Amino acid sequence: MSDRYRGKFHYLPLPLPKFGRRAFLQRLAEAGVATTALSMTTACSTGSPTQAGQNPGAGDDETDSGGNPITPDSINFLHGVASGDPLTDRVILWTRVTPPVDTDGAISVLWVISESTDLSNPVSSGQFLANAERDYTVKVDAAGLDSYSSYYYQFSVLQSDGSLATSPIGRTKTAPSATDDVSQLRIASASCNQYTFGHFNAFSRIGERADLDLVVHLGDYIYEGGGSQVRAHEPPHEILTLQDYRTRHAQYKTDPGLQSAHRQHPWISTIDDHETTNNSYSTGAANHTEGHPDDGGEGFWNERVGWALRAYFEWMPIRDNGSGFDAPAAGEPRQEVGQTGLLATGLGKLYKRVAYGELLDIIMLDTRLAGRVEEDTSFPVSEEQTILGEEQRNWFLNELANSSAKWKVIGNGTAIAPLIAGPVNPLTGCTSPLPTDPPCYVNQDAWDGYQFDRNAVFDLLENNGITNSVFIFGDIHAVIACDLPRVANDPASYNPLTGEGSLGVELCCGGVAQVPVPVWTALRLNGENPHMKHAQETRLGYMLMDITPARVQAEWYYSLVQIETELEALDPVMLQTADGSQRLTNALTPSSGAANPPALAP
């Protein structure tokens, strides 16, 4: 969410460390780590470190003088475990090893994945070389898995005294294939987790749910500012450098609620602005002063955003696009020599489609860094005023047009529904006194400020007769739910009672922990936005989507943030969109998950 409005409204297989094979296996067994399928030769590892088959930064120069990884005195797994970007036959497994202070060498990390909670009879295992180049984060693309199946996984490191340090056990699930019989999917969606504002109780509740197939995070996973409220940020200043961004990600992943949600469920994620800085776009940000720090600046944008994306890819369970670095581009200013970051349209690209059988396609967009231009309070309608950029826009339209799934869920950072302020918007200077005047939209930071791209999406949906599109976003620290007409307040083109004229629906997941913005109820009631079917702006939490061939139902669950608590409340307003209806209607009862879901990780 733009601070402007908040202010107005308050991750290579290598030899094992030098330790006898028999003794090493014995140590593993003593530690309770399954070793049946653990090969001591790297060729038997079925997981690939990255999509490109390489671990960025791993190499012989990162090992000790004997050509082997170091054996550390002590290792901790302070940041938990996570999984993400599930496909039908693989899933990303993630952790970070915390080495002793002043460790420079690489550390060999063992991983195992099994169908059982005790990790017996593992289906795959291997090693990963963690090093300082990627901040000792571990990312494995565990392959050879069955579709639509639950698995349990763990990481371990052999220490110098012969003991084995082990991570918590994680739980994950692959995506269904087109031949799997999928009658129901349950997805939790969240955004806007500001560490200083309070505790992540919503993530704790998500971590306690055994009935979920997936978590979708819609951006603002970290916040860039310093300071403290309920809790204090580390570092205590605004984050600007690679080390700053890494430290902030590390802090967030010490939160027990966030660790729980990551440990128990696979995630699919995208960004909004605060993963970089407030109101960011492809070439800058409102909260960024260009220039070298010695000259009073906050660094060079293409270097800063490259560092932010590098840290994001290191610290999140998302599939790498390749090895190495590609930002800043040649000829661009920089503080450090060479390319040290990731480019949003290259190795740092975030937009993707994930198929969940015939029932669902999940399409994730990057509405911040891949192509967005700076916002404009005059709301121009032009191809140049883009939120996606030409490349991503063409990709998205093609994916949407060619999807054969029953439902299309499109995740992005901000609202696509038209939201009208009324005849006047003092924040933008707009006046619209006559019915024939263009409307005064609420927020130029949302798709309202990038109408060419929205029109292209709406044209495709309408002209191709595409139904069952559900757009989801976070950003605003509140819950809203809307039909998607072209013009919300035009009774000739949209009937709010029947939904005629709506091209899909939109659901906002709300915020996990961030200051509420109390404007949405007023917008719903101002007479200009009859397509708004729900607005809730005082409570924080997450959204549950229950997806069947017949309908998608949305429910919102709220928690307190100022204290740690197990209390959770269900919003009495529950909404659904029926197959082919293109509209939202009330749901009478909460949805139910499978009777006997796979057990949570112990």
Q: Is the pLDDT of residue 226 over 60?
A: yes
Which pLDDT score is estimated for 1? 55
Phi, psi of 496 (to 5 degrees): -70, -20
Give the pLDDT of residue 437: 85
Cα 331 to Cα 324, 335, 566: the distances in Å are 18, 12, 53
Give the pair of three-digit tokens for residue 508: 């906002």
Q: Mean per-residue pLDDT for 29-41?
A: 37
Query: For residues 199 and 222, what is the distance between their CA atoms, to the nearest angstrom?
Result: 13
Instruction: Tell me the sheet residues that pair with 513.
Output: 193
The mean pLDDT of 68-85, rounded to a whole number, is: 91
**Least confidently predicted of 32-36, 164-168, 260-264, 479-483:** 32-36
| pLDDT at 296 (0 to 100) | 96
* Identity of the amino acid at 404: S
Find the mean pLDDT for residues 207-235.
97
526-547, pLDDT tens digit by residue?
999 999 999 999 999 999 999 9
pLDDT, position 101? 86
The hierarchical CATH code for the domain 183-586 is 3.60.21.70
Under 8 Å between Cβ of 155 and 138: yes
Please give the pLDDT value at position 190. Answer: 98
pLDDT digits (tens, 9 = 90+) for 572-595: 999 999 999 999 999 999 999 999
Specify the long-range contacts of residues 433-438, CB closer than 8 Å, at least 24 apart: 438/379
Q: Rounded CA gap, 242 and 94, in Å? A: 20
64 - beta bridge partners?
none
Distances (CA, A) of 91 to 190, 206, 214, 320: 21, 20, 12, 12
CA angle centred on 385, ends 382 and 391, rounded to 5°: 100
pLDDT band at 68 (very low <50, low <70, confident <90, very high): low
Of the pLDDT bands very low, low, confident and very high (cuts 50, 70, 90), residue 29 is very low
Please give the structure tokens belonging to residue 389: 């950029």
In the block, tokens 């139904």 appear at: 467
Statement: residue 145 has pLDDT above 70:
yes
CATH topology of domain 21-173: Immunoglobulin-like (2.60.40)
Model pLDDT, residue 98: 95
State the pLDDT at residue 384.
Answer: 98
Whose CA is closest to 158, among 313, 314, 12, 31? 31
Q: Which helix (H) or strand (E) holds 521?
A: helix 520-525
| Residue 190: HSE in the Cβ half-sphere, 13 Å Cα cutoff | 30
Q: Please work out, in degrees rounded to the nearest 5, the angle formed at the alpha carbon of residue 337 by the alpha carbons of 49 and 68.
A: 40
Dump pLDDT digits (tens) for 412-438. 999 999 999 989 998 888 998 887 788
Q: What is the mean pLDDT of residues 319-325?
A: 97
**What percentage of the chain reaches a pLDDT higher than 70?**
89
Average pLDDT, the chain: 90
Are the CB atoms for 570 and 587 separated by under 8 Å? no
Q: Could you tell me which residues come within 8 angstroms of residue 553 by beta carbon, excluding any fewer than 6 positions away? A: 545, 546, 547, 574, 575, 576, 587, 591
Residue 211 has pLDDT above 70, yes or no: yes
Tokens linked to 100: 């002793």
pLDDT of 271-318, one tens digit each? Answer: 999 999 999 999 999 999 999 999 999 999 999 999 999 999 999 999
- pLDDT bin (cut points 50, 70, 90) of residue 69 is confident
428 by Cβ neighbours in 10 Å (0-12 / 13-18 / 19+) ranks as buried
pLDDT of 19 reads 39
Total Cβ atoms within 10 A of residue 298: 18
Residue 124 pLDDT more than 50?
Answer: yes
* pLDDT tens-digit map of 465-515: 999 999 999 999 999 999 999 999 999 999 999 999 999 999 999 999 999
Q: Radius of gyration over alpha carbons of the chain, in Å?
A: 24
Q: Is residue 33's pLDDT more than 80?
A: no
> Mapped to the 3 state alphabet, what secondary structure does 289-332 carry?
CCECHHHCCCECHHHHHHHHHHHHHHHCCCCCCCCCCCECCCCC
Residue 186 has pLDDT above 70, yes or no: yes
- The pLDDT of residue 110 is above 50: yes
C-beta separation of 80 from 168 below 8 A: yes
pLDDT at 41: 29
* Domain boundary assignment for the chain: 21-173, 183-586
The DSSP output letter for 62 is: G
pLDDT in tens, 342-395: 999 999 999 999 999 999 999 999 999 999 999 999 999 999 999 999 999 999
Assess whether pLDDT exceeds 50 at residue 174. yes
pLDDT at 37: 32
Name the percent of the chain in helix, strand, coil, to the closest 5. 20, 25, 60
Q: How far apart are CA 455 and CA 462, in angstroms?
A: 10
How distant, in Å, are the alpha carbons of 52, 59, 74, 77, 82 from that of 107? 21, 12, 11, 13, 19
pLDDT at position 71 is 86
Give the whole-number percent of the chain exceeding pLDDT 90.
Answer: 84
Whether the CB-CB separation of 579 and 598 falls below 8 Å is answered with no
pLDDT at 102: 83
Q: pTM value?
A: 0.91
Query: In angstroms, rounded to a whole number, what is the distance separating the alpha carbons of residues 426 and 428?
Result: 5
| Residue 10 confidence class, pLDDT cut points 50, 70, 90 | very low
